[in-house]
Structure 1
């Protein structure tokens, strides 16, 4: 019996234009939402192929994408227009202002307001602004948290604040190329490890099941994250490096013994089964030692993806490897004699 892994050709997606599209109300409903980022995601080499894709699970269980950061939300003119026409929504990640007077007091009439940060001993005070800083060149920046229930999102407790054009705020949660690379990591989608049995019959006890992957089935996936009006960008690249096989039972052997089959530079794995190979040891495969009885074994196949990134100013580095796993029923039968 043979096992093959298959995927469809890649689909092409273009890179979006870079424009000044800060507008604050990026949730699309007209309300200012601290969960909606202006970060632009694109796929320079096209998206992963196949009808089904999924996100990666980091091998490091302690790794998490960034919980919060600050980014440009409004020019002075955009903020004035927002207050005049709406004036409702999140001025910070955990603080919402509904009512025009709250906005005009602080951003038009110069009255101070409290920042909101549960991690700090006391809330700090934000100085007010005169007439929305009209005539100045820069942006009002606001905290963003994809998941406001994450306790770490309280690290970005400042209400919307001013930053001159061309500058990045001096704050530990200001955006960086690495932060954008981590954000892009969470946007990586890879093709499903689709397992196909050939021929589609039961596996047989003590006969090796060959596993291989045709060249070019899995290719590098690159995700680019750009934060408008900051000059910051990063590209995170996921490169497939190994296929791991878990037969779903202790009564089995894997080839190699680790269960890790390396992926060649051309995207191939192992060697295709050929007639007469039944007694040979496959470079990548499984040998079941006991028949499945009440239920089929659950063969798990997972691709390990090596993650690297590069970004603004030549910054670069590595992020934790990721995996994507799928499961296949494996029925194994006992046969006392086999004619070849």
Structure 2
């Protein structure tokens, strides 16, 4: 049975219901034998900061208007690889919102030179893509296809071309061609940093009106650098996350934070705050909390979040800043009230 999804009429991002679920693909790139538009060949490698112990998590951007790229194009097949794919499979995503099921659909366009529709919504009717002769065997280059980490993102419809040819050493003449910044932003969404479990003194229980000191040793939080590379293009980018501040939320309004903003800056040696000393137990700490009311059996939820400054450098000499990110960790805090008797 032959099924061409989306080639006859274009539907809008919110009305199209013909996109098959990922587990229906039957090609060779999604780990299940399917050619899937949600699977990228970008390779992520930790250059530094990725080998520390403890739990880790993805940073959340502090800029509500920023998000990683919704779609781009990348190399998928050489001519010989495409021929093998069609001969042995012939099913999967030929575009982000267009799937071809059955060998004939692929041979018509990539072997027999017949034109086919893109699914790009660029006009009332889809644009047409010229066909290829015999999979371009004998030519040096790659067939490129659209990739969208989230095919449900309306912006993923910006990459509506079906798989197309690009000569070796070149990149597509398309607004959604990949760039080092594309890779840097993709890496932002993949980078993992240590969770923020801070050191507290007193450790067992805090006491009403007695400062609780908070700090992080300099070895706990170090910058994390990841490299994202797109094979067969020479494109790469390194994205670096550097800790710059710790924010404390005591979990109750009956508390005083130090500093008053709750923002503890990074010291010159990479540490945060100052380790507790018994001789200074009653002093206001550089970074800490004084609880003004005891818990009643239900601990306060101390939320500690580290702000990470994100920068990047690319293979073409470009680079710059990306929005700061944060990762928050919650800790239980019991607060006791010391009773005194006057005689």
TM-score under structure 1 length normalisation:
0.89
For residues 108-150 of structure 1, give each alpha carbon's deviation from its aligned partner in whole angstroms, at most 9, with x where no partner exists: 0000000012464321100100111111111100000111111
Q: Secondary structure at the match of 1:182?
A: helix
Q: Distance in 1 between matches of 2:316 and 2:120?
A: 32
Match of residue 90 from structure 1? 93
Match of residue 102 from structure 1? 105
- Cα offset, 1:48, TM superposition: 4.8
Q: How does 1:136-285 map to 2 (within 5 A)?
A: 136-285=139-288
Q: Distance in 1 between matches of 2:131 and 2:57?
A: 45
Q: 1:269 to 1:337 in 2, by over 3 A?
A: farther
Q: Distance in 2 between matches of 1:197 and 1:272?
A: 9
CA contact (8 A) 1:48 1:189 kept: no
Q: 1:112 to 1:223 in 2, by over 3 A?
A: same
Match of residue 32 from structure 2? 29
Aligned residues: 315
Q: Secondary structure at the match of 1:276?
A: helix
For residues 86-113 of structure 1, give each alpha carbon's deviation from its aligned partner in whole angstroms, at most 9, with x where no partner exists: 1111101111111111000000000000
Q: Distance in 2 between matches of 1:147 and 1:316?
A: 25
- Cα offset, 1:34, TM superposition: 0.8
- Cα offset, 1:50, TM superposition: 2.1
CA contact (8 A) 2:198 2:214 kept: no
Which protein has greater RCO, CA pairs closer than 8 Å, 6+ apart? 1
- Cα offset, 1:175, TM superposition: 0.2
CA contact (8 A) 1:50 1:192 kept: no
CA contact (8 A) 2:199 2:216 kept: no
Q: How does 1:116-135 map to 2 (within 5 A)?
A: 116-118=119-121, 120-135=123-138
Match of residue 320 from structure 2? 317
Q: Distance in 1 between matches of 2:82 and 2:175?
A: 25
Which is further off, 69-78 or 116-125? 116-125
For residues 196-215 of structure 1, give each alpha carbon's deviation from its aligned partner in whole angstroms, at most 9, with x where no partner exists: 54444321111110011112
CA contact (8 A) 2:202 2:213 kept: no
Q: How does 1:63-78 map to 2 (within 5 A)?
A: 63-78=66-81
CA contact (8 A) 1:40 1:225 kept: yes
- Cα offset, 1:240, TM superposition: 0.4
CA contact (8 A) 1:48 1:191 kept: no
* CA-based RMSD: 1.5
CA contact (8 A) 1:216 1:266 kept: no
Structure 1 residues not aligned, in runs of 5+: 1-23
| Candidates 57, 60, 63, aligned match of 1:60 | 63
